[in-house]
Structure 1
Amino acid sequence: MFQQGSTRSTAVRRAGLVAALGLSLALVTACDGKGGASGASSSSKDRSGSWQAGDCGGPDPKQTPDGYRALGCDDPGATFKALEVTSAGILPGSVQCPAGTDLMIRVSVSYGSSKDGSKGGGIPTHTVCGRNLSGDHPGDAGAGGGQLVKGDCVSSSAQEVACATAGHDAFKVLDLVKEKEQCPAGTSEPMELTLSIGRPYDVICTAPV
């Protein structure tokens, strides 16, 4: 089944100050676009125990409100297609899905059950990087959801926001790098993040929107 994801809070050093960072890197927006890029959780069970890129899925009525199941892409209940299937990742934020990913769901092997018949825990095996079948794509650059990518916008506290509704204190993400010296020309606000093992970048290169 799809095991619950986790949302990580870290810190960002900007202009000598420490600000809260709320980037959801382990789990992103749900298929229907409801729920933000932080605070969502998902669980599900696939039909064969193995996902592949191109497979589709949708909400699982037996695991409401946030469960998903594998479905045929022509099934009326299908809401997303897997762009990529990758490892589960050991630490939050260590899994990076391709651009355009609207949701990330951790798949696990179930084991045990409670006396009332509810499912027990499981061992994470891999992550499904899904893109909505609808026209709603919060994971696209600038849309305000999904993983942080080049072209997104962030607030002064490094929280992702939709570029179309960004305030005066918002910044455009020019690149995501390990060292601020690697930031491209035009970067005026390199936001240095606290160390997080597994995250592929430690600096958000930004400039005012």
Structure 2
Amino acid sequence: MANPYEVTPPQAPRRRSNGGLTGFLTVALIVGGIYGASQWLGHDDGKPSASASASASPSAKPSDPGSPESSSDTSSSWKVGDCGGPDPDNKPDGYRPQRCSASGATFKAIDIKDASILPGSIQCPPGTDLMIEVSISYGSSKKGGIPTNTVCGRNLSEDHPGDPGAGGGQLVKGDCVTDQAQEVACASGGSGTYKVLGLVKQKSECPSGTSEPMELTMAVGRPYDVICADG
């Protein structure tokens, strides 16, 4: 009985004439030329580029920090005091470095934090209006990438939702919350709102004056589990 897994070897190819070989080489050269041209016209050098999205990705300082037009995502090196603004080529939440006096600059970095894959584990200082995740991507894509750090930004305008009590940004001491632990602006919260006196891990750590300690559902990476509030 024949072995059902035995593969019959293919017949040896017939020898081609010189003319057939020449034709084959000609086609190969044409295909190779087209491929090479396509690689040259749309080449990708494979170098990493930084991307940025809110609360998420600016990128790094431009090679020329002067005009916004020359800004480019070339590294992930941000420093406190650097400015940035929306990136029109990476909408809706992309950002790019800008010099602080440029018309397109909208925020200034007030702190730089390491990146984290755990949402809520990064705590920016009070007054942070937006958080921008800086990530390095390889090739021409600006989407995704490897997170490298987080820029804590403060608006250059007079609008500061991250200020204590203003109702935006991360929850900090001085903010106001509802009985469902939802942040609201203290000025417009009305009755049924509570002032945040502290953010701690256990109720026993709440400061004096706390009348409504709110225990939160456990969240990995969050530095507090209890909102110490006072009505």
Give yes or no for TM over 0.5: yes
Q: Relative contact order, CA 8 A, sep 6+: which one is greater?
A: 1
Residue of structure 2 aligned with 1:45, choices 54, 59, 76: 59
Contact in 2 for aligned 1:195/1:202 (Cα 8 Å): yes
2:202 counterpart of 1:188: no
Contact in 2 for aligned 1:174/1:206 (Cα 8 Å): yes
Higher strand share: 1
Contact in 2 for aligned 1:194/1:202 (Cα 8 Å): yes
2:216 counterpart of 1:202: no
SS in 2 for 1:61: coil
Q: TM-score, normalised by structure 2?
A: 0.69
Give the Cα–Cα distance (whole angstroms) in 2 for the partners of residues 97 and 201 of structure 1. Answer: 14
Q: TM-score, normalised by structure 1?
A: 0.76
Alignment of 1:96-107 (within 5 A): 96-107=123-134
Contact in 1 for aligned 2:58/2:84 (Cα 8 Å): no
**Amino acid corresponding to residue 102 of structure 1 in structure 2:** D
Higher helix share: 2
2:146 counterpart of 1:119: no
Give the Cα–Cα distance (whole angstroms) in 1 for the partners of residues 223 and 108 of structure 2. Answer: 25
Contact in 2 for aligned 1:45/1:69 (Cα 8 Å): yes
Give the alignment's Cα RMSD to 1 decimal.
1.5
SS in 1 for 2:89: helix
Alignment of 1:125-136 (within 5 A): 125-136=148-159
Task: Provide runs of 4+ in structure 1 moved above 2 Å.
Answer: 42-48, 118-121
Alignment of 1:41-120 (within 5 A): 42-46=56-60, 47=62, 48-49=74-75, 50-113=77-140, 119-120=142-143
How far the C-alpha of 1:168 sits from its partner, in A, is 1.1
How far the C-alpha of 1:167 sits from its partner, in A, is 2.5
Per-residue CA deviation, residues 98-131 of structure 1 (Å, 9 max, x unaligned), is 1111000000001245xxxx53420000000000
User: How many aligned positions are there?
Assistant: 168
Q: Percent identity?
A: 66
Whose Rg is larger? 2
Please, which runs of 5 or more residues in structure 2 have no aligned partner? 1-50, 63-73
2:2 counterpart of 1:2: no
